[in-house]
Amino acid sequence: MRRRITMLVAATSSALVVAFVVPLCALLVTVAEDRASARARDQAQSVAALLGTVEDPAALGRAIETLAVAGPPVVVIASDGRMIGAQGRLAADTSAAVDQARASLTATTVAQDHGIDAIVPVASGDYVDIVVATVAEAEVRSGVLAGWGALISLGVVLVGVAVLMARELGRRVSTPVTDLGEVAHRLSAGDLSARATPSGPEETVEVAKTLNRLADRIDSLLVAERERVADLGHRLRTPVTALRLATDQLTDREAADRIDRLVDELHHSVDEVVREARRPLRDALPTPGDLGAIVSERARFWGALAEDQGRALSLVLPAAQGAPILVTLSAKDVQECVDTLMDNYFSHTPDGAPAVLTVGSDAARGWFDVSDGGPGMTAYGGRGESGGGSTGLGLDIVRRLAASAGGEVRIGPAELGGLSVTVSIPRAV
């Protein structure tokens, strides 16, 4: 914006200066020519007045030389063709003008290639003498170039001043807008403490105030939402505790231990929900998660349930297992993605349906895939819809978590006959 304002003012002021300077330069030439013509006429008329009082050609010549010291040079062309005060021959264009003046007996001023000639005929009986005063072209233009230089310099100064004023105006207008953009970027990055300082034009001040009100509103809504989520987490702890107490009354200790582990995992998840709700919006950058290690650990966790239901759960890891596959998604979020997809697998496929967990990577991304031998996508429905008693939000949660780290989720048919869900996440630098 600042550059555009400066360029616009520079172009406009330059056009205005040119529109004024060019006519002024032409006027300066006209004034110089008029001034030279007046000097030549005055000099010629002064000499013409001497012709009636000085009859001696030598005395007339000395008088002409005296006048030429303070004014333009003069030559008198007598009726018999003699030239008094002449330095050489007359120019051809001057001779033609002299003949015309002698014939018409009319004084005239003529602009010639060599300068300006003032021609005054002086009649005495049947004789006509001609007085010619000449201002040389160099003398006519002597002050013009200096005047042009002054006008052009003044024009450049005016344009420069206009550009400087435009830059200052552009700064006053663009700086508040730039600050607003910076605050908007900070808000979009999750820094809800960012606020704009109202400054600049009235419109910019109003935008800044509106942006601040919007940020306050978003902040208050998020705080209220987090409080509701935290309250829900606290409420879930009561039935989880009751479930743990009921587990202690089971006579089958093997089943009781397995259920107790699941209850511990559920209790941990509830605590994680509460901590997440209490966590500030902008924490430090999460620790990159290792896909291979996390998927392997979750495969072991879900393997016990798969064994109970007669399901074949396989894990396929990269050939080079020594190097970790670090991705931009945190370990906690990677675990949540795996658990959500595995929960979908157990919820939407019949007992005995197999599944394969696969981990892979390339130079730019790491990925893991959950493929099952269930009925396929028809069992899942859309967002918030489920035929298996769940919320139907599992895949949407996985998409959201992957997108938060710049990743993506691809869904398609699996080689086992069911659904294949691939989560691809950029590798951590």
The per-residue pLDDT string of the chain (429 residues; one tens digit each, 9 = 90 and over) reads: 678 888 888 889 889 989 988 999 889 888 888 888 888 888 888 888 777 677 677 777 777 777 776 778 888 887 777 777 766 567 777 777 887 888 888 888 888 877 888 888 888 767 778 888 888 888 888 888 888 899 999 999 999 999 999 888 887 877 888 888 898 888 887 788 889 888 888 888 899 999 999 989 988 888 888 778 777 776 776 777 777 777 777 777 777 777 877 777 777 777 766 666 666 555 545 678 889 899 999 999 999 888 888 899 999 988 766 678 899 888 888 998 999 899 888 888 888 899 999 999 988 999 999 999 988 765 444 444 444 444 345 688 889 889 988 899 999 998 888 899 999 999 986
| Predicted pLDDT of residue 382 | 47
| Predicted pLDDT of residue 76 | 83
Spatial CA neighbour of 104 closest among 90, 123, 87, 117: 123
Q: Is residue 256 part of a domain?
A: no
Q: What is the pTM of this model?
A: 0.46
- Rounded CA-CA distance 262/340 in Å is 15
Domain end call among 97, 125, 144 = 144
| Predicted pLDDT of residue 174 | 79
Domain end call among 114, 144, 174 = 144
Q: Is residue 401 part of a domain?
A: yes
CB 334 within 8 A of CB 294: yes
- CA torsion through residues 48, 51, 57, 62, sign: negative
| Predicted pLDDT of residue 385 | 45
Domain end call among 83, 111, 144 = 144
- Helix (H) or strand (E) segment spanning residue 248: helix 202-248
- Rounded CA-CA distance 331/287 in Å is 7
- How many structural domains is the chain composed of? 2
Q: Can you give the length of the chain in residues? A: 429
Q: Is residue 90 part of a domain?
A: yes
- Rounded CA-CA distance 197/208 in Å is 7
List the domain range (segments joined by +) for residue 334: 285-426
Q: Is residue 244 part of a domain?
A: no
- Tokens 């349930």 locate to 305
CB 88 within 8 A of CB 132: no
At 422, the amino acid letter reads: T
Q: Backbone phi, then psi, for 311, in 5-degree steps?
A: -100, 145
Burial tier of 145 (Cβ tally within 10 Å: 0-12, 13-18, 19+): exposed
How many angstroms separate the Cα of 132 from the Cα of each of 56, 139, 392? 19, 17, 112
| Predicted pLDDT of residue 366 | 92
Q: Is residue 115 part of a domain?
A: yes
Q: Is residue 323 part of a domain?
A: yes
Q: Is residue 257 part of a domain?
A: no
CATH of the domain at 73: 3.30.450
Q: Is residue 91 part of a domain?
A: yes
